[in-house]
Amino acid sequence: MKKRIGVMGGTFDPIHHGHLVAASEVASLFQLDEVVFVPTGRPWQKSDQKVSAAEDRYLMTVIATASNPQFSVSRSDIDRGGKTYTIDTLRDLKTDHGDADLFFITGADALSQIFDWRDAQELFELAHFIGVTRPGHILADPGFPEGGVSLVEVPALAISSTDCRQRVAKGDPVWYLVPDGVVRYIDKRRLYR
Ligand SMILES: Nc1ncnc2c1ncn2[C@@H]1O[C@H](COP(=O)(O)OP(=O)(O)OP(=O)(O)O)[C@@H](O)[C@H]1O
Ligand SMILES: O=C(O)c1ccc[n+]([C@@H]2O[C@H](COP(=O)([O-])O)[C@@H](O)[C@H]2O)c1
């Protein structure tokens, strides 16, 4: 039987429980065999923002997902170099995973912009897209191809990486917003100060 692989792309600066709950819920609803988290290398749409080093974001993603045997992390976007485009992510994963069916998991905010992504039409040939609800973001259908996108309600967690970074900068706790190991890693590497 064909494997069913979830792909959760994100900048993960830092990864938080909103990401993990979304991946877990989609894995259960879509009977996925695994979910591969793919931290971005250089997210072109965040070029006006300061983004933490790729290795720090990669390691936080590994720490956050290590205890779940269904979750893994790919270095594909980081090692490819250059700006990160999902079309390249999906092509790499197709090469790595043969004839598996890919399910790209993304938040409502990201999905509503998908027609601005590189090679947007071809994306839908490589993966099924799953848009997860996110507090404060309503997903209007910008003209998705028939059958190309599913929308899923996940338990709402009003957590964002932006908020986590701002809390650390102010000296406020991020315990229970991000996994414990990620709190320790942020502290050890003095990120977001
Ligand atoms: N709380 C959440 N619930 C559902 N989806 C989320 C949540 N937070 C992030 N996502 C989705 O996860 C994917 C990766 O998100 P990303 O790493 O950019 O985190 P973020 O919290 O949106 O970061 P930032 O605040 O820095 O923009 C995106 O598709 C985003 O929409
Ligand atoms: O391919 C693109 O042009 C593109 C444009 C914007 C975002 N994405 C992808 O969408 C995912 C979520 O991005 P972000 O920056 O909101 O974490 C991540 O995997 C990005 O590589 C991809």
CA of 125 to the centre of ligand 2 (A): 17
Locate the domains of the chain by residue range: 4-186
Provide the whole-model pTM. 0.97
CA dist., res. 182 & res. 188, Å (int) = 10
- Which pLDDT belongs to residue 142? 81
CA of 108 to the centre of ligand 2 (A): 12
Q: Which helix (H) or strand (E) holds 76?
A: helix 76-80
Give the model confidence (pLDDT) of 12-69 as tens digits. Answer: 999 999 999 999 999 999 999 999 999 999 999 898 999 999 999 999 999 999 999 9
Cβ atoms of 84 and 44 closer than 8 Å: yes
CA dist., res. 189 & res. 135, Å (int) = 30
Q: Are strands 4-10 and 149-152 parallel, antiparallel or unpaired?
A: unpaired
Which amino acid makes up residue 156? A
CA of 85 to the centre of ligand 2 (A): 7
Which amino acid makes up residue 153? E
- Whose atoms come closest to the Cα of 13: which ligand? 1
- Its ipTM equals 0.97
Q: Which helix (H) or strand (E) holds 22?
A: helix 17-29
Q: Degrees (nearest 5) of the Cα angle 132, 97, 99?
A: 90
The number of the ligand 1 atom at minimal distance from the alpha carbon of 43 is 18
pLDDT category of residue 136 using cuts at 50, 70 and 90: confident
Ligand 1 atom 13, closest CA: 10
- Whose atoms come closest to the Cα of 119: which ligand? 2
User: In terms of CATH architecture, what is 4-186?
Assistant: 3-Layer(aba) Sandwich (3.40)
DSSP code at position 137:
B
With pLDDT > 70 as the criterion, what percentage of the chain qualifies?
100
Q: Under 8 Å CB-to-CB from 2, ≥6 apart: which residues?
A: 99, 100, 101
CA dist., res. 105 & res. 115, Å (int) = 16
Asked if pLDDT for residue 82 goes beyond 90, the answer is: yes
